[in-house]
A and B are shown apart, each in its own frame.
Chain A
Amino acid sequence: MKTIPIVHIRERGDAAHKTAPTLTRRSLLKGTGVLIGTLAIGSPLALLAPSTVWALELAALDQGEGEALLRMGRVLYPHERLPDAVYALLVKDLDAAAAKDAAVAGQLRAGVASLDKLAGGSFTAATPDRQLAAVKALEGQPFFDTVRGKCVTALYDNEMAFATFGYPGSSWEKGGYILRGFQDLKWLPAPPAAASPPPYMG
């Protein structure tokens, strides 16, 4: 089974990820933990990746912590259509921050421990209601702010999120929208020419 490193499905704007080197399970054993998941076959996102299996190697956090933070991302920003692979980008960014700064690592570890405690043992295994209550109980604390703040860029600035929400991103190389539906809305009447003159077509 080909497994794509999660780092290669983040970047947009070129097809580099489609030919990216794949990882084997053996090569994933250097770090502190690994998160592995799959993209649903037939989803538009599966078309973006060379394999439906993704993997994230952790440099500072262990697997349990990674899984808890991924889960916390899902509680903070619940999108049914967004696959775990996107939430893994959040874990990747948090792990990188933890690897760079021991204070962040400590904050994340303590935060996950709080989540576990609030959820009555295991945050990851708790019911959705219990998970939501645990996250809500930490709102306003630095740990919560660190994770939530990271979500804004990690979850919404990647090609899989764009595809999921229907945002095409860069338009320049496609000639913009002058010939691609910038005024194709049909459920309201077109404004008169005085308010909205016809486009110049040369």
Chain B
Amino acid sequence: MAKFDFGDDSVVVIIGSGAGGGTLANELCQKGVKVVVLEAGGTQSNASFINDEWKAFSQLAWLDKRTTSGSWRVAKDFAGLPAWICKTVGGTTTHWAGASLRFQEHEFRARTVYGDIKGANLQDWPLTLRELAPYYGKAEDKMGVTRTHGIPGLPGNNNFKVMYNGATRLGYKEVHTGNMAINSRPRNGRARCLQLGFCFEGCKSGAKWSTLYTELPEAEATGKFELRTQAHATRIEHDDKGRVNAVLYVDADGKTQRQKARIVCVAGNAIETPRLLLLSASSLFKDGLANSSGQVGRNYMRHMTGSVYAAFNEPVHMYRGTTMAGIVRDESRHDTRRGFVGGYELETLSLGIPFMAAFLNPGGWGSDFTWWMDRYTSLAGMWLVGEDMPRETNRVTLNQNVKDQWGNYVPNVHFDDHDNDIAMRSHAYTQAERIYGAVGAIKTFRTPPYPSTHNLGTARMSARPRDGVCNKWGQTHDIPNLFISDGSQFTTGGSENPTLTIVTLAIRQADYIAAQMSRRTI
């Protein structure tokens, strides 16, 4: 691995090594750009991943102090854990399920297509599906997404069999084992899926794409890459002209270091990214970096979510095999006859006994609860994920009453469901119950949202500087050598799981940064 000097101001510093940061690092290194990645977490591997829900959670999850507010159910059930994301090399690509869906054309034009929705802060993206399509193709190839580039779909497990039969009996047409960044056969040096059933705990077979064992080692092989682990960024500094020029971070020994930089790219996931911009407030940028619009931290989206579990008289054993083993896509269309704008996906999901106990019905107890646990082997489950409305008041702020282990204000995540989110969730719950009812479910249960896995929108793209934080390249409107490189860029959330789009934007951003560097505009 390369080793760059703290004073080397020719490097690009990327904060975060997940889907956005890890991909951007590799793409830049392949073009000969020198990159330092600062990753707050430590390093795990396929060998060190654990097929045990709580142990893996402790190993991978971001557990630094956070607070919550607002009327969303997560604030009540998991007050200190608004998001279920990771602090480890590879970021949340260690934990993600692998679903890799392209946004639909109309989802880039939410304001135009959905109209002026009261209480929502909708904007069109400053880019189109047509512009992104070639990059989507590159991302799918890189990640090995099934049902693209001639890669076969994954074989469906028992949980999918239940979903498939129920959904097709109901008349749904687009029902299959999904577009997954999980190898259905060996590819690019990675093994095929062994149907372990522990996708969320870090894939021990390496069949699931993660930057940990794809992008990061590829970047390292260029000799242009340095990864610093347990390096927790706490502040981005700038010069007199307002250009960023260094990143302060706390290293593994608890010492503060300063790495100089030509360009800084922030990819800390949509809670830490705005937090870092806000923590970096200065006399020149009193409201935080890149925040002349006041939109940093606002428009926090987490997708409309919920789950439905169903009990049958016959065995299912849903825990066997790929966690997200199949999808129903018919409801992802925009069709206001359903009583809401935007759409949602239905995707199988399974939890082991420890997480069923924690997440089936947080706070629940008594024989109503144990009825479900007693029937564990006869349960099927699915997750509902749809587009939620960006709202100015749903936001990440600094909680000035609480500090983290380094003495910095922790992020507070405030969220209130929009009426559209509530209407969509209600529709999705009903449809999921009808799917299971069509194949003889004896009982169904509406599980409330888990802590957020899809965190989006808190430093969004906009055509006009006053409406958002960055432009269509993720370059901040205010500071040309400061980039947003993760899901914080999303102008709206779409109904699709966001990772493929984050990777796609990172590949595209790398082209832009390299071109600007060679033109010496940044």
Binding site for B on A (CB under 8 A): 12-13, 76-79, 81, 132, 148, 151-153, 155-157, 161-162, 165-172, 175-178, 180-185, 187-191, 194-200
Identify which of B19-27, B159-167, B217-225, B299-307 touches chain A. B159-167
B376 near A166 with CB under 8 A, answer yes
A176 near B196 with CB under 8 A, answer yes
* Max count, chain A CB within 10 A of own CB: residue among B50, B51, B193, B365: B365
**Which of chain B's residues has its CB closest to A154's CB?**
B357
**Which of chain B's residues has its CB closest to A198's CB?**
B155
* Max count, chain A CB within 10 A of own CB: residue among B184, B205, B320, B376: B320
A185 near B316 with CB under 8 A, answer yes
Nearest Cβ distance between residue A72 and chain B, in whole angstroms? 11
Residues in A with CB closer than 8 Å to B320 are 171, 177, 180-182
Residues in B with CB closer than 8 Å to A187 are 314
Residues in B with CB closer than 8 Å to A151 are 365
A196 near B164 with CB under 8 A, answer yes
Show 20 A/B contacts (Cβ-Cβ < 8 Å), sorted by A.
A77-B369, A78-B370, A79-B374, A153-B358, A156-B356, A156-B373, A167-B377, A172-B205, A176-B197, A182-B197, A182-B321, A183-B156, A183-B321, A185-B158, A185-B314, A191-B156, A191-B165, A196-B154, A196-B177, A199-B195
Give a binary string over B363-394; 1 marks a CB under 8 Å from any A CB, 0 the rest.
10111011001101100000000000000000
Nearest Cβ distance between residue A193 and chain B, in whole angstroms? 9
Give which listed residue, A153, A157, A168, A200, contacts B192 with CB less than 8 A. A200
A177 near B357 with CB under 8 A, answer no
* Max count, chain B CB within 10 A of own CB: residue among A170, A182, A194, A196: A182
* Max count, chain A CB within 10 A of own CB: residue among B54, B195, B363: B195
* Max count, chain B CB within 10 A of own CB: residue among A81, A162, A185: A185
B195 near A196 with CB under 8 A, answer no
Within 8 A of A (CB), among B296-320: 314-317, 319-320
The answer for the CA separation of A114 and B156 in the assembled complex, in Å, is 52
Given A183-B156, A187-B314, A191-B156, A171–B161 Cβ distance below 8 Å?
A: no
Give which listed residue, A168, A188, A196, contacts B176 with CB less than 8 A. A196
Give a binary string over B339-379; 1 marks a CB under 8 Å from any A CB, 0 the rest.
00000000000001110111000010111011001101100
B155 near A152 with CB under 8 A, answer no
A190 near B161 with CB under 8 A, answer yes
Given A157-B54, A166-B376, A182-B158, A77–B365 Cβ distance below 8 Å?
A: yes
Give which listed residue, A79, A156, A178, A188, contacts B354 with CB less than 8 A. A156
B51 near A196 with CB under 8 A, answer no
Give which listed residue, B51, B152, B154, B165, contacts A171 with CB less than 8 A. B51
The answer for the CA separation of A126 and B193 in the assembled complex, in Å, is 53
The answer for the CA separation of A46 and B490 in the assembled complex, in Å, is 54
Q: Is residue B504 contacting chain A, with contact meaning CB distance below 8 A?
A: no
The answer for the CA separation of A187 and B441 in the assembled complex, in Å, is 13
Q: Is residue B127 contacting chain A, with contact meaning CB distance below 8 A?
A: no
B195 near A81 with CB under 8 A, answer no
Residues in A with CB closer than 8 Å to B54 are 153, 157
Starting from the known contacts A177-B320, A178-B321, 14 additional A-B residue pairs (CB-CB under 8 Å) come to A151-B365, A152-B357, A152-B358, A155-B357, A157-B54, A162-B353, A165-B376, A169-B352, A170-B51, A170-B52, A185-B162, A195-B176, A196-B161, A197-B155
Given A167-B376, A181-B317, A196–B326 Cβ distance below 8 Å?
A: yes
Binding site for A on B (CB under 8 A): 50-54, 152-158, 160-162, 164-165, 175-177, 184-185, 192-198, 204-205, 314-317, 319-321, 326, 352-354, 356-358, 363, 365-367, 369-370, 373-374, 376-377, 439
Give which listed residue, B162, B196, B374, contacts A165 with CB less than 8 A. B374
The answer for the CA separation of A76 and B196 in the assembled complex, in Å, is 32
The answer for the CA separation of A166 and B376 in the assembled complex, in Å, is 7
B195 near A177 with CB under 8 A, answer yes
Residues in B with CB closer than 8 Å to A168 are 319
The answer for the CA separation of A187 and B380 in the assembled complex, in Å, is 13
The answer for the CA separation of A188 and B158 in the assembled complex, in Å, is 9
**Which of chain B's residues has its CB closest to A189's CB?**
B165
B165 near A176 with CB under 8 A, answer no
Top 7 nearest A-B pairs (CB, nearest first) are A176-B194, A196-B156, A170-B51, A156-B357, A182-B321, A185-B158, A177-B320
**Which of chain B's residues has its CB closest to A76's CB?**
B365
Give which listed residue, B152, B184, B195, B354, contacts A176 with CB less than 8 A. B195
Residues in B with CB closer than 8 Å to A185 are 158, 161-162, 314-317
Give which listed residue, A152, A175, A180, A200, contacts B185 with CB less than 8 A. A200
Residues in A with CB closer than 8 Å to B357 are 152-153, 155-157
Residues in B with CB closer than 8 Å to A194 are 176
Given A169-B352, A172-B196, A182–B162 Cβ distance below 8 Å?
A: no
The answer for the CA separation of A156 and B317 in the assembled complex, in Å, is 17
Residues in A with CB closer than 8 Å to B50 are 170
A191 near B160 with CB under 8 A, answer yes
The answer for the CA separation of A175 and B195 in the assembled complex, in Å, is 9
Residues in B with CB closer than 8 Å to A165 are 353, 373-374, 376-377
Residues in B with CB closer than 8 Å to A132 are 366
Nearest Cβ distance between residue A194 and chain B, in whole angstroms? 7
B370 near A196 with CB under 8 A, answer no
Residues in B with CB closer than 8 Å to A78 are 366-367, 370
Given A152-B358, A177-B157, A167–B319 Cβ distance below 8 Å?
A: yes
A79 near B160 with CB under 8 A, answer no
Residues in A with CB closer than 8 Å to B370 are 77-79
Nearest Cβ distance between residue A6 and chain B, in whole angstroms? 19
Residues in B with CB closer than 8 Å to A170 are 50-52, 198
The answer for the CA separation of A156 and B374 in the assembled complex, in Å, is 11
Give which listed residue, A77, A156, A183, contacts B158 with CB less than 8 A. A183
Give which listed residue, A167, A178, A195, contacts B175 with CB less than 8 A. A195
Residues in A with CB closer than 8 Å to B195 are 176-178, 182, 199
The answer for the CA separation of A187 and B312 in the assembled complex, in Å, is 11
Residues in A with CB closer than 8 Å to B316 are 185
Residues in A with CB closer than 8 Å to B157 are 177, 182-183
B176 near A199 with CB under 8 A, answer no
Given A177-B321, A189-B165, A195–B177 Cβ distance below 8 Å?
A: yes
